[in-house]
């Protein structure tokens, strides 16, 4: 947010500078003020509109990419991408934790289910997040699904 505002301000400054430049060069006429104001208003309206449109839309994050052939079947085959797993260096246990995370379980619940402590679950989770380049479990789930690591 702060970054956004900052960028916005900078852009605004540049635009004003640009407009002033144009102003001084080509529009040195009697009613240049109106033209100037109109231009500024127009440009900034457009920028504001564009910005508003842009900021209110979710952007893709994570390692997306990965075109991959779609299964295109009605059901849900789900073939685990073992190669990708190896590429990312994700161990079976880590993948298991990932799956339970995707199931909406808390770390404690996962720990209970796998008969380990919460600490262990957290360790696995942290490693998976790192390997998936995710910062939150929701993000990790999203990426993992996209990468076909979990159903």
Label residues 109-143 b or e (16+ Cβ within 10 Å = b): ebbeeeeeeeebbeebbebbbebbebeebeebbbb
Of the two residues 124 and 148, which places its CB atom closer to DNA in the complex? 124
Gap between the Cα atoms of 68 and 1, Å rounded = 34
In the bound state with DNA, the residue whose beta carbon lies nearer, of 28 and 115, is 115
Interface with a second copy, residue 12, by CB under 8 A: yes
Closest distance to DNA from the beta carbon of 52 (Å): 13
For helices 2-26 and 32-55, the axis angle rounded to 10 degrees is 150
Q: Does 8 bind a second copy (CB under 8 A)?
A: yes
Shortest CB 134 distance to DNA, Å: 8
Determine contact, residues 118/111, Cβ cutoff 8 Å: yes
Question: Could you say whether residue 140 binds a second copy (CB under 8 A)?
Answer: yes
1 lies in the binding site for a second copy (CB under 8 A): yes
Among 88, 90, 100, 149, binds a second copy (CB under 8 A): 100
Check residue 106 for interaction with a second copy (CB under 8 A).
yes
Question: At what angle are helices 118-132 and 92-102 packed, to 10 degrees?
Answer: 90
Report if residue 103 touches a second copy, rule: CB under 8 A. Answer: yes
Is 66 among the residues that bind a second copy (CB under 8 A)?
A: no
Q: Is residue 151 a contact residue for a second copy (CB under 8 A)? A: no
Asked whether position 48 contacts a second copy by CB under 8 A, the answer is yes
Q: Which pair of tokens denotes residue 8? A: 């916005």
């Amino acid at each position: 947010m702060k970054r956004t505002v900052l960028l916005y301000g900078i852009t605004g400054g540049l635009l004003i500078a640009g407009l002033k430049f144009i102003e001084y060069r080509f529009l040195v006429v009697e009613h240049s003020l109106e033209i100037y104001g109109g231009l500024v208003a127009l440009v900034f309206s457009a920028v504001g509109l564009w910005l508003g449109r842009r900021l209110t839309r979710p952007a893709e994050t994570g390692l997306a990419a990965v075109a991959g052939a779609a299964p295109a079947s009605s059901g849900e085959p789900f073939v685990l991408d073992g190669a990708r797993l190896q590429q990312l260096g994700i161990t079976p246990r880590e993948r298991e934790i990932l799956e339970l995370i995707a199931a909406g379980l808390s770390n404690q619940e996962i720990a209970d289910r796998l008969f380990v402590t919460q600490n262990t679950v957290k360790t696995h989770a942290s490693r998976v997040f790192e390997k998936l380049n995710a910062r939150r479990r929701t993000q990790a789930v999203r990426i993992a699904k996209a990468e076909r690591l979990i159903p």
